[in-house]
Amino acid sequence: MADDVFKALADPTRRRILDELVERNGQTLFEICARLATRHGLSLSRQAISQHLAVLEAADLVVTRRQGRCKFHDLNTEPLEHIVSRWLGPKAPESAP
């Protein structure tokens, strides 16, 4: 699972998508495409963004939900929290000199 997360985070476009979801969670594909184009100058096709979202979803960093005909994308921080706790978990008490 951690390998999927690292592979997903390796791409700068996917990191920008996550940044956009941090700022405003629950966006549609159209909204994500528009924000990437206007805020970051990325004029990728909807299909390309959809493929990036599929990688993020496979890594469990993005979860989707449907409401009517719309599909919303939400950030899932749980895989990142797992990775952080792996290396930055409970700290051992510092010994006094």
Banded model confidence at residue 2, pLDDT cuts 50, 70, 90? confident
Q: Is the pLDDT of residue 96 over 70?
A: no
Phi-psi sector, 73: left (phi>0), alpha (psi -120 to 50), beta: beta
Banded model confidence at residue 5, pLDDT cuts 50, 70, 90? very high
pTM for the full predicted model: 0.85
Of 90, 34, 2, nearest to 17 by C-alpha is 34
The model's pLDDT over 33-83, given as tens digits with 9 standing for 90+, comes to: 999 999 999 989 999 999 999 999 999 999 999 999 999 999 999 999 988
Q: What's the average model confidence in pLDDT over 13-40? A: 96
Q: Tell me the CATH architecture of domain 2-76.
A: Orthogonal Bundle (1.10)
Extents of the domains making up the chain = 2-76
